[in-house]
Amino acid sequence: MGDRRPYSWQLDASLSVMSPFTTSSREANYKAQAVIETFFWRLGVVIQAAVVFVGSTPLAFSVRNFAEFNIVLIFLWPVVAWPSTANMNCCCRAKVRSRSSSLDEAA
């Protein structure tokens, strides 16, 4: 069948890069993930409520204005998120390199 080690290493490396809490226990990971997701979910709901309130009361947006505002946000979001993903990719590549070099030394 051949050696499956390269495939298992690739899977292990990608899984370790994906988890931001690799040094924590599995239970701590689930708790932290739940807290983070809840916080950002609720924050998004509060921001949406504020946009609707401000748009409907002081600014008196029509449905068309809300749609235009949402379209602007759709195109603005990738511009805001791009620097974050670039930084994450850089950190992930460095982590994979250090892990692969430690595995090479062990072999």
For residues 80 and 14, what is the distance between their CA atoms, to the nearest angstrom?
Answer: 25
Residues 55/67, Cβ–Cβ less than 8 Å: no
- Determine, yes or no, domain membership for 77: yes
- Determine, yes or no, domain membership for 2: no
- Which of 8 and 32 is assigned the larger pLDDT? 32
- Determine, yes or no, domain membership for 6: no
pLDDT value at position 38? 92
Q: What is the mean pLDDT of the chain?
A: 75
Residues 17/92, Cβ–Cβ less than 8 Å: yes
Q: Are 50 and 22 part of one and the same domain? A: yes
Of 40, 60, 80, which residue sits at a domain end? 60
* Token code pair at residue 32: 């932290």
- Determine, yes or no, domain membership for 4: no
Q: Are 68 and 95 part of one and the same domain? A: yes
Q: Are 102 and 68 part of one and the same domain? A: yes
Mean pLDDT of 80-98: 68
pLDDT value at position 42? 94
Its pTM surpasses 0.85 = no
- Determine, yes or no, domain membership for 44: yes
Among candidate residues 52, 48, 75, the one with its CA nearest the CA of residue 65: 52
Exposed (0-12), middle (13-18) or buried (19+): which is 95, by Cβ within 10 Å? middle
Q: Please write the tens of the pLDDT for every residue from 9-45.
A: 555 555 555 556 566 777 887 888 888 889 988 998 9
Quote the number of domains for the chain. 2
| CA 23 to chain CA centroid, nearest Å | 18
Range of the domain at 102: 63-107
